[in-house]
Chains A and B, each alone.
Chain A
Amino acid sequence: MNFDLTEDQKDILEAVREICEEELAPKADEIDRKGEFPWENVELLARYDLSGIPIPDEYGGLGADFVTWTLVGEEIAKACSTTGAIYGANILCIHPIYVFGTEEQKRKYLVPLAKGEKIGAFGLTEPNAGSDAAGGLASAVKDGDEYILNGTKIFISNGGQAQIYVVTVKTQPGRGARGMSAFIVEKDTPGFTFGKQEEKMCFHALANCELIFQDCRIPAENMLGRENRGFRVAMETLDVGRIGMAVGAVGLAKAALEKAVKYSKERIQFGQRISSFQAIRHKLADMATEVEAAELLMLKAAWLKDQNRPFGRIAAMAKLYSSEMCHRVTDQAVQIHGGYGLMREYTVERYLRESKLFEIVEGTSEIQRSVIAGHVLK
């Protein structure tokens, strides 16, 4: 069993680390404080070929594997959680188009996404359908060679900023999951508008808003996958998204751990560095162990996906474990900083707030447990 990275992966990560440390990390605090969507970071990712890592070269991607996508995502998330979240939300649009798209759809939508010329979003959640993903009311009615979309999606990451959206709607209401279809919708399509940007507890610069469809007409060829088979598109996308969540959570936890380690080496109390006190040492040991374990789950899920083997169970485990781990680690990071941990200037308080996102978004921890139990009890 080989736990090593390939030479290509090592070289890619070295280049990515340089970009993350020099370009993303220095501005991360400011971006969150300002609360403005960081387009310059999105353009940076595109410029350095970070946008379409797992997509083949023929569609404008780098042609690397999904493990590489996660490793790169981890570095991005560690340097700047907002940019990491954008990177993670983007894959939710890229993946379904790559897997379920027709050749034409791939040429038209996947290529600009993979090249980073455009970014994407995924619209599943509705005001009345969160955990109960199949309970959505947004509908699509066929009219000639078009579909008319009506309904609202809520909390959509990259919403309002992304140019390309994959949304799920009911083409046969009343049949639950079996009446759901997926569509590709472009920004500026008449009838497609956005709600206000949500003010959140964390990730202030990340775009999250409602997608509002009012008699929005889109061409029939924008259906992604087959009619009434959209739930499958959603579930597969969520599986990938779970790995993405683990990526963000592990990256964030690593950032918090790094700050905690650094602080404990510098802070002197009672004439000693606090890193010499057992209480602190044990905390750091636990944090480091948890981060390592979460990363392994994340990598295994990505590896299984690259092998084209079922990865849903491990992905759910990775998401569940890394999100709760991240909360624990960021919490302890604040604790280790003592009073300074509460101060904005020291950043770790932001990390703690951000960790909450991972426990909820893209399937709450409770849903993950349900999913895992389903596998365990087969």
Chain B
Amino acid sequence: MRFGILVFPGSWSHQDFQHVLADVMGFEAREVWHKATSVTGFDCFILPGGFAHGDYLRAGAIARFSPVMPAVVRFAERGGLVLGSCNGFQILCEAGLLPGALLRNASLQYRCQWVHLRLESTATPFTAALTPGQMLRMPISHGEGRYHADPETLRRLNGEGRVIFRYCAPDGTLPPEANPNGSLEHIAGVCNARGNVLGLMPHPERAAEGVLGSEDGRLLFEGLLARALG
């Protein structure tokens, strides 16, 4: 598997993804500058966290028009794997590759903390090897992560098993205090209709080594590894 990690001006998680995918997990991984227009030979694109283009206007609003994005959209439309974390999730929503939008945290605070996530669906290759109901622990680090979608979209996402993660308490329940940003229905991650594009606010790349407190972030990529080898 060859990963392309998109780097926008203001990205900040690209080197962590590079380290985890290449050094920790042994994948081929390469950074791709946002001005690249021809991007071939990749099996998966990562849109990392950060503040692409300063997050001016709205988080992801400018980045979605970066020169590299038409190629990423075409890649996704052909079924190519795309994962966006944090700012990457915001960019995927702005680009229309994922439904909904991410708004200012209800608390108005920037939240940098560990969260528990309940895996809701295995409808995407990133979670195909996991078990619904499985708990994962990863950090979040964002000021604009309150997921919003209109009622009809929300119904469709739930009905089609496209809500992938919800913020929850350690026991898997959904009390309001386990929702760090006020997301509708505790939603932390969703995928597109085909399942090949996944967006989540948490940072799997910051939870991929025991020394950092959790290795659960690796689970999203271990399934891909198994698939690639299988």
Q: Do A and B come from one complex?
A: no
- Give the interface of A toward B (CB within 8 A): none
Contact surface of B with A, Cβ cutoff 8 Å: none
